[in-house]
Amino acid sequence: MKKELPAVQKAYDLCKELLTRVSNFPRDYKFSLGERIIENSLAILELLIQASYSQQKVKFLDEANMRLERLRFLLRISRELGSLSNNGYEYVMKMITELGNQVGGWRKQASGKA
């Protein structure tokens, strides 16, 4: 079995965390805002898995970075609407920042800009 790259494992952990948190969103936001949060987090995981197997990693890593940025805004809205606590927001944003740093480093390496 192939050992996962740290970024893939971090994205996996982020998905699990967000799935748990979104399940506690108020009904008004669970099926609109919550679905978009889950959709973006799962897409990030899928893109990183694709990048790990592809020769054209930069394409997938760029899309993962864009999805991370979308996720940041969706989570900010969630916090401002009260669906996500300040502590929960800080926790997942720390995870996203760490993942973003890993993806950025991976992208630099993949594009030959060491």
pLDDT band, residue 4 (cuts 50/70/90): confident
State how far the Cα of 63 lies from the Cα of 89, in Å rounded to an integer: 23
Ranges of each domain in the chain: 6-111
Number of Cβ within 10 Å of residue 102's Cβ equals: 18
State how far the Cα of 9 lies from the Cα of 114, in Å rounded to an integer: 23
- The tens digit of pLDDT for each residue in 56-69 reads 999 999 999 999 99
Q: Which fold has domain 6-111?
A: de novo design (two linked rop proteins) (1.20.1440)
Which carries the bigger pLDDT value, residue 4 or residue 103?
103
Position 52, amino acid: S
Q: pTM value?
A: 0.93
Nearest-10 crossing angle of helices 6-22, 33-53: 170
b/e per residue 5-17 (b: at least 16 CB within 10 A): eebbebbbebbee
State how far the Cα of 53 lies from the Cα of 78, in Å rounded to an integer: 33
pLDDT band, residue 1 (cuts 50/70/90): very low
